[in-house]
């Protein structure tokens, strides 16, 4: 569920999605899990109930909007794509532990989305603050994503680093 298809991770948009949904269907019951983000490789799958919609904020558009969950996560995803082998290690173990905990005892959907949003903010700050950040993608992929980031009005990693809270 967490791996990109169609080539190396993060090189082209064909690995993007609008969200991922897993439905566990059993006689007499169903469990649903969604990312509500574009990148299952960096996301948590959160439990949802199809009969109880959640307010996740505004729908994403083609322009960056920090109020939209999809864009908040996309900031993390696009930074991770620069050097996934290194940056995924900054949050992957915690993501996997949280996912395992949720699978063992699914939380209330609203609580799961709230916890996931807190974790997303922390993980984004950790990846943005990583010293010596480098981009390991081929030059053509870097140019492609830079154009998309600029068109969307996405903040740069340096701008995110400047906004990140400092440890006290």
pLDDT per residue over 114-164, tens digit each? 999 999 999 999 999 887 778 999 999 999 999 999 999 998 877 777 776
For residue 5, pLDDT over 50 is answered with no
Q: How far apart are CA 132 and CA 77, in angstroms?
A: 18
- What contacts 95, CB < 8 A, 6 or more positions away? 42, 44, 119, 123
CA–CA distance from 61 to each of 52, 65, 101 (Å)?
24, 8, 32
Query: Between residues 6 and 39, which one has the greater pLDDT?
Result: 39
Model pLDDT, residue 14: 47
Model pLDDT, residue 118: 97
What is the pLDDT averaged over residues 91-110? 97
For residue 10, pLDDT over 90 is answered with no
* CB distance 91 to 126 below 8 Å: yes
Domain limits of the chain?
A: 13-157
**Residue 162 half-sphere exposure, CB side, CA atoms within 13 Å?**
5
Only one residue has tokens 């439990």, namely 47
Model pLDDT, residue 131: 76
What is the pLDDT averaged over residues 92-100? 97
Model pLDDT, residue 17: 67
pTM recorded for the entire structure:
0.85
What is the pLDDT averaged over residues 88-107? 96
């Amino acid at each position: 569920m967490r791996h990109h298809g169609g080539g190396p991770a993060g090189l082209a948009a064909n690995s993007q999605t609008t969200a991922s949904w897993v439905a566990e269907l059993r006689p007499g019951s169903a469990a649903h899990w969604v990312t509500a983000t574009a990148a299952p490789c960096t996301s948590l799958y959160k439990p949802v109930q199809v009969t109880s919609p959640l307010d996740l904020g505004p729908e994403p558009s083609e322009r960056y909007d920090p109020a939209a969950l999809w864009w908040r996560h996309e900031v993390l995803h696009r930074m991770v794509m620069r050097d996934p082998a290194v940056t995924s290690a900054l949050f992957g173990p915690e993501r996997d532990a949280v996912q395992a905990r949720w699978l063992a005892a699914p939380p209330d959907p609203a609580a799961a989305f709230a916890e996931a949003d807190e974790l997303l903010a922390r993980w984004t700050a950790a990846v943005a603050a990583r010293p010596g950040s480098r981009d390991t993608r081929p030059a053509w992929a870097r140019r492609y994503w830079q154009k998309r980031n600029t068109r969307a009005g996405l903040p740069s990693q340096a701008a995110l680093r400047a906004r990140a809270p400092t440890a006290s």
